[in-house]
Structure 1
Amino acid sequence: MIGTIVNAGLIVVGSVIGSVVKKGMKESYQDILMQAMGLAVTALGIYSLAKHMPNSQYPVLFIVSLALGGIIGEKLNMEERFKTVVSRFSKGNLAEGLSTAVLLFCIGTLSIVGPIESALNGNQTYLFTNAILDLVTSIVLAATFGIGIALSAIVLFCWQGFFYVAAGAIAGWITPALLTEISIVGAALILSSGLSILGIKKFKTMNLIPALLVPALFIAVKSMIGM
């Protein structure tokens, strides 16, 4: 799991660097940096949607996923529970930053395929590439939201660790089609985070997280029926 360890470690390093940079910034600079971060996250969400939607075999699935996932997340009240936990460690808008960080770091092809490739073939290329991207992103996020962004490294380690450990059992099940559908839903969630940071519309992004499970369940049921 050397690739995952490096990935998580660089997020911590980036968070420390970003928090140090933030301390020397005027409030006006922090505000413009948050706007820049919001624009960047929004652009990433749009880019990912444009990249993956043309390859979707089920164009309506992401709509159903967001609807069902939102209902489940709202029922579980995930957004408020998440904020309650985060507020014990920090005040301010860290919860918004952490939810954005978790989405950016975990919901992507590199963060899913990477640990599987590492476990099955010993290839760390995807994870090392992802680690460099996350280093830069964590610096910007921490400069905006503070050192608490480092907590997302724990989530990433558990996320990638799950795929690494379960690679033998699920590698054949994680098809390109499934990755495409999950990436589309993930892109929509990243876009919602960007719009929230910009203050255009405050989305309960954490309540939409269960939407990521719907494509997996749909394809699993479809495969069973097909058998």
Structure 2
Amino acid sequence: MILFGSLFNVLTIIIGTLIGRFLYGIPERMKETIMYGIGMAVVAIGLQMTFETTQIVIVILSIVIGAILGEWIDLDQKVNQLGRWIERKLPAKKEGPGIAQGFVTATLFFCVGSMAIIGAIDSGLRNDHNVLIMKGILDGFTSIIFSSTLGIGVAFAAIPLLIYQGSITFLATILSRFVPDELMKLFISEMTATGGLMIAAIGLNLIGLTKIRVANFIPGIAVVAVIVTIVYAF
């Protein structure tokens, strides 16, 4: 079953969110400090991922072009509208952030990363789910922390995660016949670095230092694929 790893990842996020809800009643001052700690850790993770680049120009171009495309289609607004639609459909507690914030933050964090790509590819190419199982365990613990401060919206991030990783898994079974290993390795390293900058931006938002529309950078992942292909070809 090639989707076993992604389904396991989804399950750990849901379970982690439910556990985190029991911690929701902690004092506001403590939640604020926890959120700052999460934000700093997320920034550190993002920067560590960014340092994996071997072609920083590719990262810069991908971020800039991706931002232009994202702002043009206003992707951040559309993602937030989806989160608010979910929020309207379900009863939410009056205190704390709404479902939309947890949904958007968790979706970006869980989907943007090398483990999501590499794990989904391994599932599709070799039916090897070890990477996604390890990612699922990490995401499960992360969802506990996120949901304790951001609420139940974190659980709904499992839906786009399943679509995202599942699509990569199915595509990997097709593209493996045509894409050279060297090109795939270059794409993964530059995609990881580009995604790392996005994750660092999420951390800055969590700390409250910025209000970056991170979702508008997502097209940069597709831009990485195009630029890497051009670089490899020449």
Give the aligned partner of residue 67 of structure 1: 64
Give the Cα–Cα distance (whole angstroms) in 2 for the partners of residues 28 and 9 of structure 1. Answer: 31
AA matched with 1:140: I
Contact 2:58 2:228 in 1 (8 A): no
TM-score, normalised by the number of residues in structure 1? 0.90
Shift in CA distance, 150/143, structure 1 to aligned 2, threshold 3 Å: same
1:95 is displaced (CA, Å) by 3.5
Question: Which of 11, 18, 21 lines up with 1:19 in the alignment?
Answer: 21
Consecutive unaligned residues of structure 2, counting only runs of 5 or more, are none
1:107 is displaced (CA, Å) by 1.9
Give the aligned partner of residue 77 of structure 1: 74
Secondary structure of 1:21 counterpart: coil
Contact 1:100 1:190 in 2 (8 A): no
Question: Which of 122, 128, 131 lines up with 1:123 in the alignment?
Answer: 128
Give the Cα–Cα distance (whole angstroms) in 1 for the partners of residues 42 and 102 of structure 2. Answer: 11
1:104 is displaced (CA, Å) by 2.3
Deviations 1:194-227 (A, max 9, x none): 111111121110111111111101123445x54x
Give the Cα–Cα distance (whole angstroms) in 1 for the partners of residues 109 and 56 of structure 2. Answer: 23
Give the 5 Å matches for 1:1-227.
Answer: 1-22=3-24, 24-50=25-51, 52-53=52-53, 56=54, 58-90=55-87, 92=97, 94-171=99-176, 173=179, 175-223=184-232, 225-226=233-234
Deviations 1:140-169 (A, max 9, x none): 111110011011111111111011111222
Deviations 1:161-206 (A, max 9, x none): 0111112222353611100110111000001111111111211101
Give the Cα–Cα distance (whole angstroms) in 2 for the partners of residues 116 and 192 of structure 1. Answer: 26
Give the Cα–Cα distance (whole angstroms) in 2 for the partners of residues 148 and 111 of structure 1. Answer: 20
Identical aligned pairs, as a percentage?
29
Give the Cα–Cα distance (whole angstroms) in 1 for the partners of residues 43 and 5 of structure 2. Answer: 28
Shift in CA distance, 93/43, structure 1 to aligned 2, threshold 3 Å: farther
Contact 2:76 2:216 in 1 (8 A): yes
1:109 is displaced (CA, Å) by 2.0
AA matched with 2:64: A
Give the Cα–Cα distance (whole angstroms) in 2 for the partners of residues 113 and 141 of structure 1. Answer: 24
Give the Cα–Cα distance (whole angstroms) in 1 for the partners of residues 109 and 129 of structure 2. Answer: 20
Give the Cα–Cα distance (whole angstroms) in 1 for the partners of residues 120 and 166 of structure 2. Answer: 7
Deviations 1:19-69 (A, max 9, x none): 2211x212122211211111111111122123x03xx1x221111111111
Give the Cα–Cα distance (whole angstroms) in 2 for the partners of residues 133 and 170 of structure 1. Answer: 28
Give the Cα–Cα distance (whole angstroms) in 2 for the partners of residues 191 and 201 of structure 1. Answer: 11
RMSD: 1.7
